[in-house]
Amino acid sequence: MKILVTVKEVATVDDEFEIEGTEIAERYLGADLNEWDDYAVEEAVQLQEAGIADEVVTVTIGPEDCEQTIRQALAKGADRAIRVWDDALEEINLLDVGAKRDLLGAVIAEEDPDLVLTGVQSGDDNFGATGVSVAEALGYEWAAVVNHLEHDFEDGTASVRRELEGGVEELTEVELPAVLTVQTGINEPRYASLRGIRQAQRKELDVVGLADLGIDAAAIEPELSLTDMYEPESESDVTVWEGDAEQTATELADLLRDKGVAQ
């Protein structure tokens, strides 16, 4: 079985930051492997270690800078990686779900995996819709927000648990090939070993552009445009206690005593 995992490098934001236009100023940003994708990678690698998957391939949309993040996924055990980038993508301020679906879909159609694992959402733009979109576009089955996957795939189906709201899980069977969007908590993502990190440097990392995928730049022109970004207006009337830790702890202790909590 071949598994493809979508891996995104997401921007992390410092506690204090400034907004320039419709972006957070570069100097307040860091980069990390998307939290949800980390769990998807781990699930794929575990399937490989169990002898169920023969190959785990990652696919990322992003500029050269994000290769360090892709290497993280390779260091954890993925076999090879594909990075999609093109000058035409440079100008786009918000890559919408449709554009991601077309780009990732073209790679997946080419690779023809049995199982695609994506994160439930990405921590930066937070759309939560790419996995299911790709599935529908390719005629794959799917399940969103999966927090448990049985590893036997009997009769060509995946038995999953979908995590619903309010502590309820849905038990579902999904025919393969399928896309599963992976929720945190499905497993415990590993740290990359030193050996893994060394090996990752030698693993194949292909870069493909729009022409390689047979996609016209006009086709992935986003239909959504980001027109404003601002810090949310706080309606809060929070009382912030000032002072060192002893002083603020005393304030809080007084409040708790007033409320009848402890003495």
Partner 1 sequence: MTDILAVADHRRGELRDVSYELLTAGRLLADETGGDLHVAVISGTVEDFASKLDREGVDVVHTVDYGEEFNHGVYAQAITQLYDRLAPRYVLTPNSVNGLDYAPAVATTLDVPIVTDVVGLETDGETLTATREMYGGKVETTTELEGPAVVTIRGAEWPAAEGTGDAAIEPADVTIDEDALGSTVNGFEEVAGGDVDISDADVLVSVGRGIEEEENLDLVFDLAEALDATVSASRPIVDNGWLPKNRQVGQSGKVVTPDVYIAIGISGAVQHVAGMKGSDTIVAINTDPNAPIMDIADYAIVDDLFDVVPALTAEFS
Ligand X SMILES: Cc1cc2nc3c(=O)[nH]c(=O)nc-3n(C[C@H](O)[C@H](O)[C@H](O)COP(=O)(O)OP(=O)(O)OC[C@H]3O[C@@H](n4cnc5c(N)ncnc54)[C@H](O)[C@@H]3O)c2cc1C
Q: Is 41 left (phi over 0), alpha (psi -120 to 50) or beta?
A: alpha
What values do phi and psi take at 194, rounded to 5? -60, -40
The reply on whether position 121 binds ligand X by CB under 6 A is yes
Q: What is the rounded CA–CA span in Å between residue 61 and residue 107?
A: 10
Contact region for partner 1 (CB under 8 A) — 49-57, 64-72, 198-206, 223-231? 223-231
The DSSP letter of residue 206 is: E
The reply on whether position 219 binds partner 1 by CB under 8 A is no
The reply on whether position 231 binds partner 1 by CB under 8 A is yes
List the one residue from 1, 11, 52, 207 that touches partner 1 (CB under 8 A): 11
Q: Which of 207, 153, 200, 206 is nearest to 180 (CA)?
A: 153
Q: Is 15 or 155 the residue whose CB approaches ligand X more closely?
A: 15
In this structure, are residues 144 and 135 in contact, taking their beta carbons and an 8 Å threshold? no
Binder of residue 223, out of ligand X, partner 1, none (CB less than 5 to 8 A by kind): partner 1
Give the per-residue contact string, 109-138, with partner 1 (x = CB under 8 A; - = no). -----------x--xxxxxxxxxxx-xxx-
Contact region for partner 1 (CB under 8 A) — 46-54, 59-67, 110-118, 231-239? 231-239
At residue 153, what is the residue type?
F
Q: Is 68 or 225 the residue whose CB approaches partner 1 more closely?
A: 225
Q: What is the rounded CA–CA span in Å between residue 209 and residue 215?
A: 9
